[in-house]
Structure 1
Amino acid sequence: MSNEQNSYRADINGLRAWAVLAVVLYHFSVPGFSGGFAGVDVFFVISGFLMAKIIYTGLGSGGFSLWNFYFSRARRIWPALMVLCCVLLVVGWFILMPMEYQALGKHARDSLLFSSNLRYLGEAGYFDAASSGKWLLHTWSLSVEWQFYFLFPMLLILLRRIKAELSVVCLSLGVLLSVSLCWSIWLSFSQPEDAFFTLQSRMWEMLAGCLVFLLGDRIRPVRPFWAAVLSWLGFALILGSIILLDSRFVWPGGWALLPVLGTCLVILVGVQTSPLVRGASFQWLGDRSYSIYLWHWPIMVGLVFLEKQNSALWWFPGILLSLYLGHLSYLYVESPARKRLSRWRPLKAIVALLLVLATVLSAAQIIRKYGFPERLPGAVAAMELESRKSPPRLDECTVQREQCLFGTGPVRAVVIGDSHAGALANVVQQSMNDASAGLYLRARAGCLPIFGAKKLNGRGTECLELQNWIRTELPDLYPGQPVILINRTTAYVMGGMPGEADQLQNQPEYIFSRGYSSPEPAFLDEFRRHYINTVCEIASHHSLYIVRTLPEMKVNVPYALARDILLSRQRDLSLSLEEYHRRHEFVWSVQDEASARCGVEILNPLPYLCSATGCPATEDGRPLYYDDDHLGTLGGLKLLPMFQSIFRAEVQK
């Protein structure tokens, strides 16, 4: 997100303004900016253009120094980033639980070393903390840029040394761009997290900016009329991406061509008088875009911490605070550091910058290692321990392996489903009369085992494998033994709970014939038909028991309890029965129809988890859930009598 350049261009500064505004409004969930994530792609193109300008011009004049280039990048990026990390580490001392604080230290270290994109890629598993709880998640883009800064000059220097003509340089970069783009498109469908976070799948966007600089003089339109037309077309592509796209589109993939091409057009024609870039407000935002980008995400995470992220009343103050802190960072950190370090002798400036960096890195590493639990009340640390008490073998049996066996004796039941099935498998095994009796589990986190159901955007090949196994292998597996289906079914149909940080509300996660933006009647009819056909097919060869969807809480229960202690806050963490039935009414009706049509048995967890008024998230001050919707050890044990009824019924058959 660099803005260093040899000559000032109002159009590029205005593009920065639009990019940072789009990202900020998107992250604050302001309606109308559902594709604001495309702002990062705009930044990437700008960076590529400016880097090509600095490096190629310097090489042409004979005045380019690789080390001076790296130092200018460090001087531009590190100071404001180090201040942000220091502030977050200080604030985290007072409000974050030990594991959260250790994670912040780790993320601060990796952000300052420009490897945070790889860190977040490694943490992108199903059971990882929600992204909205990671205070420095947005630094992944800085890491991708810095990795590009490190490699790109070496490529141009190599081409220069072999005396490559401009056409050869452009051809070489064009080939790299094409390979990276194709890789990005393919990876966006097969491994979307890798496509999002890695340089290999993002490099084409920066290379596009590089080619705009290298070829600009040859392809730039001469007539002002056509320049104006192309400039407006470029902005139409950018703004169309910001307004019309949303998280359902694979990204970056082919859709990222829209903002990338739009940015290339705007930079290529270089119209400096467009009302979309020339205004004082655009130039103000553009100057401060880097600092605003740095500060806006921690403000958003702070709203999540306070559980205010879904309140429109908090969006405006959050956005204003982001702009204000970005302004302060620009005035008192970013600009002074860049100017002062540029006036010092190079050795002095480098030593000073590295000493400060080493100090911040050391603090972050110490925090990563220890977490300092003694700084908080003991009850807070105890609640964090509860959040770590996930049911036995949950990750192993729903993410790492295709199937698991519980118990040492003959298998007496088969459990299928998603992570909720994995969380309760041990409870099902305990509910059998014989403690050594075996249980076979086949479950995949986030998967709906209904024939014909496909995850949005083609993702989830493991879910299709689970469906195929149910259809082809389950019929002959452990004949005579009951099958128990446990799923968070409603979430796949209706989206996440209101207030849920890591799952969109009112947006289906699966498609059948085509995608739907909401659970409209046509989609619900498709789901009903496929669900009933699937469970009736299973019931034709095994006794089938379906567990109703468990009550879902709006917060991560152990963390909410810990924060209540920190904030001296008391409240009732529970879900009303009215809310539960309103959310799950449709799925209940489908399950009831399946029961009437093909005799499947329905197991209702509400009598065991809820009272006449609601479903509590705690019992005697202890959480029943280890997050917002998975039952923990204590909560799972409350369902023992429900599962015991299965084996009593099987004995009587």
Structure 2
Amino acid sequence: MQQATFRYDINGLRAYALLLVVFYHFNLPLFHAGFIGVDIFFVISGYFMTKIIFNNSRNHKFNIKVFFSAIFIRIVPPLLFVTLIFYCVSFFILNPGDFQYYCKYIIKSLTFTSNISLLKEADDYFAANSARNLLLHTWSLSVEWQFYLLYPFLFILLNKAIKRPKGLIITLSLLLLSSLLFSVYQSTLNRAYDFYMLTTRAWEMLAGGLVYLFECSRTTQQNRPAVLCKLVGIGLLVVSLIIINEKDPWPGYLASLVVIGSSLIIFSRNNRLRFFNNRLIYTLGLASYSIYLWHWPIHFFANYYLPHPSTLTNILFVGLSILIGYGSYRFIESKSIAWAKRKGQLFSFSFFLCIALIFIGLADQTRKHSGFPWRGGESYLSVINKIKMPSPENGWCFYSIATDHQLSVGLPGVQCKIGDTTHPQVKALLFGDSYAGQYIPFWHKVGEKNAIQIQAVTTNWCNPSTGNDFLGPRTSPAYQQCLFNRHYVLDHISDYNVIILAGSWTKAFANPHAVEGLHELISRIQQKNIPLIIMDEPYQFAENIGDRYKQQLWRHHYFDIRPYTSVKMDNRIKATSQQLDQLSANTVQTLHLRRSDLFSPTHYAVDDIPYSLDGGHISVLGSLAAERYFIAQGGNEKLRHFLKQ
């Protein structure tokens, strides 16, 4: 098959890592921890990068331009091919919103910044809504590429500064330990950051690099218990598959089991074990990159047409992913590398770079034109324009500074006034995060009918509180806006006749600091003798309902919401509502608006269109429908009676 120096064991490990990831994404039984395959990939990458850099540096043959162009030619053509194919497919299949979102991630994937963009969106890799991203899996390529950009310079610098190999090993070990400790720290602070960022992933690749440096040591060459290392390594990976699940902070300290296990397998240099050296595993290992690129888009479209597939169906899609991925390896990945060798590295690099830049330009134009909504016609546009958050772009004023980069931190974020703004008899404050912002259309209509002017002070992840607690990434400008909002509210609290609090209570109640800040806020309100209204969260779904509805509308299919209801999530929201009941009962002059006051139990707003925007929030249309339902349930009389007390 290959020359004697070929590492069948590493190639086999790569094949099994691939299978773990693919089986996990297709929800095959027993592979609930299959995501550890990516961590194995990282260890392997660190090993080979160190081998290339160390050997060429030692022989004075390392050329940084050759290094980067070789990696570019290895990685970009297959990625470019996959993204281009699915651009064409998406043009005919995806609705404008999904197509626009896909084009955004074409740009992010080809510039190797997917992980950063996902962090800014605070997108949990394990959350149901992550399935919306056709290029979600490219986050790992971005992390690897960022490592490739930095590691050669760091390694060469250390290699020159530290002449002794042991000193280099010690220094890299300290860097590994620093990255690992930072990962453990971030796992309790910001799960999305811990998962997606290079600083919390670098230790996994550095572990692979240290394995190679240890291999070069004469001592370890002479005293390597190969079979024992390999068996212990396999054992650690099996244990990881059994004990790890999606709820665990990741990577964190638990990932050390996977990293140590992978490192031991590589360190053993045992090519004879048939488990790692047979024709099937050999082929899967060679084609692993292309199969990895193809499997997630295939999963995406499988989920698009079959939201609840059987295990057998998923197995068939696994086979399809492997088959198409292998074809891509044979005819795209291998051919592009061979073509580059014939044409020369510089020419090939320039050629593929030009193609990538042209395609990025096309994707950017598609993104700027909102995914070409003209493809759906006027009837489609009239509906989807209402299935949005109430932001300035559609005439409302939720201050979504995390997603609208034209907004700035400060006073503009607290200037939203709705309801009766001409001759109000009551001045109210709506304060909270996006789960408060979603109610802006609701309170606008209620305010108009009851002579209430409502000032909405809302931004992303800013739960009602007086403290510094925050439900999103503190790197987002929303954090600074949130602190501004809280100071503003405390400074102007006496200006209002009634205060309305709404938020992502389920997340807030899981955070002790958020609970403490909420109680302090309520105490301040009570001291001023101001009536308080607390609003429930809407019904929560296991999937992005708005996207599911748009997909069915785009395909002219009836949308049945029932398969997406979740008893588990509903019970969690009910438990949160009971906590709000207790909070309201212990607080004077407090009205608790429950889900039953606001939302039809059918979950439909009007004309079979759901309330839900994304499985959590409600849309503009849902918010307006909630107002109509509230009025029909006698909500106006209930509100007026409360305000007269």
Counterpart for residue 461 of structure 2: 445
Counterparts of 1:95 and 1:138, CA distance in 2: 20
Query: Is 2:397 the partner of 1:393?
Result: yes
Question: Does structure 1 conserve the Cα–Cα contact (< 8 Å) formed by 2:541 and 2:565?
Answer: no
Question: Which stretch of the first structure deviates more once superposed, 548-557 or 262-271?
Answer: 548-557
2:642 aligns with: 650
Evaluate the alpha carbon distance shift between residue 542 and residue 96 of structure 1 in structure 2; reply closer, same or farther with a 3 A threshold: same
Asked whether the equivalents of residues 605 and 626 of structure 2 are also in contact (C-alpha less than 8 Å), the reply is no
Shift in Å, 1:206? 1.4
Name the CA distance, whole Å, in 2 between partners of 1:279 and 1:168. 39
Q: How far did residue 49 of structure 1 move?
A: 0.7
Residue of structure 2 aligned with 1:30, choices 28, 31, 50: 28
Quick one: distance in 1 between partners of 2:379 and 2:430? Answer: 36
Task: Return the offset for 1:42.
Answer: 1.2
Inter-partner Cα distance in structure 1 for 2:24 and 2:250: 15
Give 5+ residue unaligned stretches, structure 1.
494-508, 514-526
Judge conservation of contact 2:186–2:194 (CA < 8 Å) in 1. Answer: yes
Give the Cα separation in 1 of the matches to 2:565 and 2:199. 49
Rounded to whole Å, the distance in 1 between the matches of 2:598 and 2:473 is 38
SS in structure 1 of the partner of residue 438 of structure 2:
helix
Residue range with higher mean Cα deviation, 147-156 or 48-57: 147-156
Structure 1 counterpart of 2:548: 560
Shift in Å, 1:302: 1.6
Note closer, same or farther for the CA distance 1:14–1:605 as it changes in structure 2 (3 Å cut).
same
CA distance in 1, matches of 2:251, 2:80: 29
Aligned-partner Cα distance in 2 for 1:620–1:321: 38
- Of the structure 1 ranges 296-305 and 638-647, higher mean CA displacement relative to structure 2 is found in 638-647
- Counterpart CA distance in 1 for 2:45 and 2:231 is 21
Residue 90 (structure 1) shift = 0.4
Q: What's 1:75 paired with? A: 73
Tell me the distance in 2 between the aligned counterparts of 1:383 and 1:252: 41
1:368-407 paired onto structure 2 within 5 Å: 368-370=367-369, 371-390=371-390, 392-396=396-400, 404=414, 407=417
What does 1:441-480 align with in structure 2 at a 5 Å threshold?
Answer: 445=461, 478=494
Q: Distance in 1 between matches of 2:435 and 2:149?
A: 44
| AA at the equivalent of 1:644 | N
The 3-state SS of whatever aligns with 1:353 is helix
Conservation of the 8 A alpha-carbon contact between 1:617 and 1:624: yes
Match in the other structure for 2:263? 264
In 1, the alpha carbon distance for the partners of 2:143 and 2:402 equals 31
- 1: CA distance, partners of 2:595 / 2:167: 68
Deviation at residue 118 of structure 1 after TM alignment: 2.6
Structure 1 counterpart of 2:593, one-letter code = L
Counterpart for residue 635 of structure 1? 622
Matches within 5 A, 1:171-320: 171-218=170-217, 220=220, 222=222, 226-306=225-305, 308=307, 311-312=310-311, 314-320=313-319
Displacement after TM superposition at 1:512 (Å): 7.4
1:478-493 paired onto structure 2 within 5 Å: 478=494, 482=498, 484-486=500-502
1:538-617 equivalences under 5 Å are 545-552=533-540, 556-573=544-561, 601-606=591-596, 609-610=599-600, 614-617=601-604
Alignment match of 1:421 (pick from 411, 436, 444): 436
Evaluate the alpha carbon distance shift between residue 275 and residue 607 of structure 1 in structure 2; reply closer, same or farther with a 3 A threshold. Answer: same
Between 1:131-140 and 1:244-253, the stretch displaced more is: 244-253
Check 1:479–1:314 CA distance in 2 against 1; reply closer, same or farther (3 A cut): farther
Structure 1 residue 189: Cα displacement: 3.3
Output the CA distance in 1 between the equivalents of 2:123 and 2:253.
24
Change (3 A) 1:307 1:63: same
Cα distance change of structure 1 residues 5 and 113 upon mapping to structure 2, 3 Å threshold: farther
* Partners of 1:190 and 1:459 within 8 A in 2: no
Range with bigger deviation, 358-367 or 84-93: 358-367
Instruction: Provide structure 2 residue ranges, at least 5 long, that are not aligned to the other structure.
Output: 404-408
Residue type at the aligned position of 2:538: L
**CA distances 1:500-558 after superposition (whole Å, capped 9, x unpaired):** xxxxxxxxx93779xxxxxxxxxxxxx9xxx9999999989765555454344565454
Deviation at 1:138, TM superposition (A): 1.2
Residues 584 and 591 in structure 2, CA contact (< 8 A), matched pair in contact too = yes
Preserved CA contact (<8 Å) 2:26 2:318: yes
Per-residue deviation, 1:88: 0.9
Question: CA shift at 1:81, angstroms?
Answer: 0.9
CA distance in 1, matches of 2:572, 2:490: 31
Matched, 1:334 2:333: yes
Partner residue in 2 for 1:498: none
CA contact (8 A) 1:189 1:457 kept: no
In the alignment, what sits opposite 1:431?
446
CA distance in 2, matches of 1:577, 1:294: 31
Of 198-207 and 285-294, more deviation after overlay is shown by 198-207
Counterpart CA distance in 1 for 2:460 and 2:346 is 55
Q: How big is the alpha-carbon RMSD for the aligned residues of Structure 1 and Structure 2?
A: 4.7
Cα distance in 1, alignment partners of residues 122 and 350 from structure 2: 36
Distance of 2:604 and 2:184 partners within structure 1: 42
Counterpart-to-counterpart distance in 2, 1:301 and 1:122: 22
User: What is the CA distance between 1:16 and its match in structure 2?
Assistant: 0.7
Shift of 1:239: 2.9
Helix, strand or coil at the partner of 2:296: helix
For structure 1, which segment, 330-339 or 307-316, has the greater mean C-alpha deviation from structure 2 after superposition?
307-316
The answer as to 2:164 corresponding to 1:165 is: yes
Checking the alignment, whether the CA contact within 8 Å between 2:182 and 2:200 is kept in structure 1 is yes
Give the conservation status (yes or no) of the 8 Å contact 1:180–1:200: yes
Q: Equivalent residue for 2:154? A: 155
Q: Is the 8 A contact 2:129 2:543 kept in 1?
A: no
C-alpha spacing 1:533/1:159, structure 2 compared with 1 (3 Å): closer
Larger displacement relative to structure 2 (576-585 or 257-266):
576-585
- The 3 A distance-change label for structure 1 pair 7 and 154 is farther
Q: Find 1:44's aligned residue among 39, 42, 45.
A: 42
Query: Normalization by structure 1: what TM-score?
Result: 0.78
**Match for residue 9 of structure 1?**
7
- SS of the aligned residue for 1:437 comes to strand
The alpha carbon displacement at 1:625 in A equals: 3.8
Q: How far apart are 1:40 and its partner, in Å?
A: 1.3
In 1, Cα distance between the equivalents of 2:577 and 2:346?
70
After superposition, the C-alpha distances for 1:145-164 in whole angstroms (9 at most, x for unaligned) are: 12222232233444555683
Conserved in 1, the CA contact under 8 Å of 2:597 and 2:635? no
Distance 1:190 1:393, change over 3 A: farther
User: Which residue does the alignment assign to 1:501?
Assistant: none
After TM superposition, give the deviation of residue 86 of structure 1 in Å.
0.9
Give the corresponding residue for 1:518: none
Aligned to 2:406: none
| Percent pairwise identity | 28
> Hey, what's the Cα distance between the residues in 2 that align with 1:581 and 1:144?
36
Q: Please, which moves more after superposition, 140-149 or 128-137?
A: 128-137
In the alignment, what sits opposite 2:112? 114
Structure 1 residues 72 and 584 mapped into 2: Cα distance closer, same or farther (>3 Å)?
A: closer
Q: What TM-score do the two structures reach when normalised by structure 2?
A: 0.79
1:102 Cα offset (Å)? 2.8
Distance in 2 (alpha carbons) for counterparts of 1:10 and 1:186 = 36
Q: 1:227 to 1:29 in 2, by over 3 A?
A: same
